[in-house]
Structure 1
Amino acid sequence: METRSVRLPVPGHDATLEVVRHGSWGRPVLLFPSEAGGAHDAEGNGMLDAVRWLVDEGRVSLFCVDSLDAWSWSNRDLPTEERAQRAGTYGAWLSEQVLPYVVGETGGDQEVVTVGVSLGAYHAVHLTLQRADVAPVAIGLSGNYDPTTWNGWGDLGDATYFANPMGYVAHMEGDHLDWVRSRVSLLLVVGQGPFEESPTRALSSTREFAEVLSHKGIRHELDVWGHDSAHDWPWWHRQLAHHLPRFV
């Protein structure tokens, strides 16, 4: 299995962030780490091994990205609105740097699947809702899709609204909603075990977001695992290995 990496500049920021690619063939899968994680976490935490057979068979080319959470959503010294503004910088990096890179590397023959765990699930789903023209399928594992619940404070404004799937999806209508319905397919997976509710609210948030998607008629699946399924990598391995093959 071939592995290589590249660092791509962040628009409006002096940083570069890493993208690590595993495999040379197959459907591109863009994988987000857990909160404040990095591009090597999938390999270091066993996620790559869980789906390695798909990479080895040429069914998947896995693109693992750095996060910018420590500077944005995870910085509790900042009010929520400023965190959301900073998160927009990360979104610009994904849209303007990462997606074109992935498409260029893979030829654009197959649409991108986004995958994320914990806070990464939010990133995967949010990116698909924003860029369903390129990445119409998202798999969110143990996500919380309402940033206003993330230890926030301060007045909320446009940046928070447009970064909050629970907010903006609930208000979608007209031609844009029709387009999202025609393009987007979301798979929301969550367990009922340790740390899936406290302190993450992943379980309740996932269920609430699925209700919003149902109300709006947006294609999605909700898969709730058992009371032994924890908010942790070993369970995310199993969940991704269970679901990813049918998308590739």
Structure 2
Amino acid sequence: MIENYIQWYAPSLDRQIDVLVYGDRGHPLILFPTSMGKYYESKDNGLIDAIAWFIDNGLVKVYCPDSVDAWSWYNKQVPPAERAHNHTRYNAMLHNELLPRIRGESGYDRIAVAGCSFGGYQAANFAFRYPGAVSYLFSLSGVFDVRFRLDGYYDDNVFYNNPVDFVPGDNDPALWQMGIILGTGEYDICLAENENFSRILSTKHIQHWLDIRPQARHDWPLWKAQLPHYLSLM
């Protein structure tokens, strides 16, 4: 498998960003790590191996960026307002720095996004913030309400990074042009989150698939079974 490591100084973050890239052609996919996960997490936990066939056959090119969760949502050392602001800066890096690079390398205007657990939140938040840039969203055991990280604080940065809040009032036509899968399991700790967000999408008549796997729990074996299936549907 072709694997490349890239890094650059990201002005949006005022820090270095690290990304592992798998493959050399195909539909681009940003694959986000779990809570406070690193750019190599998906490789270390076998998720890249699980989708290797799609990479090796030139069907997808996968970008695995570092997270900044420990600097944003999970940073209890700073006030909640700063946590939300720091995530807004991460969004800016993704949209203004990583996305143009992906478009230039791939020739695709719209990309796919995916992630597991809190990475599912990252994927969903990016997809619904920028629906015109996203062709497919695969959220695996994701969360869609980030307020549990903010000690009751709320501002515009929270609202516009909290899909359960901003999606109901968003009528961007591109929302109805995405392929959306919300993957979860029967015993998943995020099952209720996915069922609730599915209801929000259904209320807006946004087509999607709520995939609840029987007997499955919130862990890598579930995600390694789901993601190859979802890629096969692209």
TM (norm. structure 2) is: 0.94
Cα distance in 1 between the residues matched to 2:28 and 2:45: 20
| Cα deviation 1:209-230 (Å, max 9, x = unaligned) | 1101111122211111123x12
Q: Name the residue aligned to 1:221.
A: 209
Amino acid at match of 2:229: H
- Structure 1 unaligned blocks of 5 or more: none
Q: Name the residue aligned to 2:193.
A: 205
Instruction: Give the C-alpha shift of residue 23 in structure 1.
Output: 0.7
Q: Name the residue aligned to 1:231.
A: 218
State the number of aligned residues. 234
Q: Would the aligned equivalents of 2:116 and 2:140 in 1 still touch at CA under 8 Å?
A: yes
Cα distance in 2 between the residues matched to 1:107 and 1:12: 24
Q: Would the aligned equivalents of 2:182 and 2:210 in 1 still touch at CA under 8 Å?
A: yes
Deviates more, 1:12-21 or 1:61-70: 12-21
Instruction: Give the C-alpha shift of residue 111 in structure 1.
Output: 2.8
Moved over 6 A (4+): none
State whether structure 2 residue 156 is matched by structure 1 residue 169: no
**Alignment partner for residue 192 of structure 1, among 183, 186, 198?**
186
Instruction: Give the C-alpha shift of residue 79 in structure 1.
Output: 4.2
Q: Would the aligned equivalents of 1:37 and 1:66 in 2 still touch at CA under 8 Å?
A: yes
Cα distance in 2 between the residues matched to 1:209 and 1:184: 16
Amino acid at match of 1:147: V
Q: Name the residue aligned to 1:117.
A: 116
Over the matched positions of the two proteins, sequence identity in percent amounts to 32
**Alignment partner for residue 155 of structure 1, among 153, 156, 162?**
153
Instruction: Give the C-alpha shift of residue 178 in structure 1.
Output: 4.6
RMSD: 1.6
Q: Would the aligned equivalents of 1:20 and 1:39 in 2 still touch at CA under 8 Å?
A: yes
Cα distance in 2 between the residues matched to 1:27 and 1:180: 18
Structure 1 residue matching 2:217: 3-state secondary structure = coil
| Cα deviation 1:118-175 (Å, max 9, x = unaligned) | 110011111111222222311000011000133x314311111111000001222xxx
**Alignment partner for residue 242 of structure 1, among 220, 229, 234?**
229
**C-alpha spacing 1:12/1:59, structure 2 compared with 1 (3 Å):** closer
Instruction: Give the C-alpha shift of residue 181 in structure 1.
Output: 3.5
Q: Would the aligned equivalents of 2:110 and 2:134 in 1 still touch at CA under 8 Å?
A: yes
Instruction: Give the C-alpha shift of residue 90 in structure 1.
Output: 0.5
State whether structure 2 residue 15 is matched by structure 1 residue 28: no
Structure 1 residue matching 2:132: 3-state secondary structure = coil
TM (norm. structure 1) is: 0.89
Q: Would the aligned equivalents of 1:121 and 1:144 in 2 still touch at CA under 8 Å?
A: yes
Cα distance in 1 between the residues matched to 2:44 and 2:26: 22
Amino acid at match of 1:211: R
Cα distance in 2 between the residues matched to 1:90 and 1:181: 22
Cα distance in 2 between the residues matched to 1:149 and 1:41: 24
Structure 1 residue matching 2:25: 3-state secondary structure = coil
Q: Name the residue aligned to 2:142.
A: 143
Cα distance in 1 between the residues matched to 2:172 and 2:88: 25
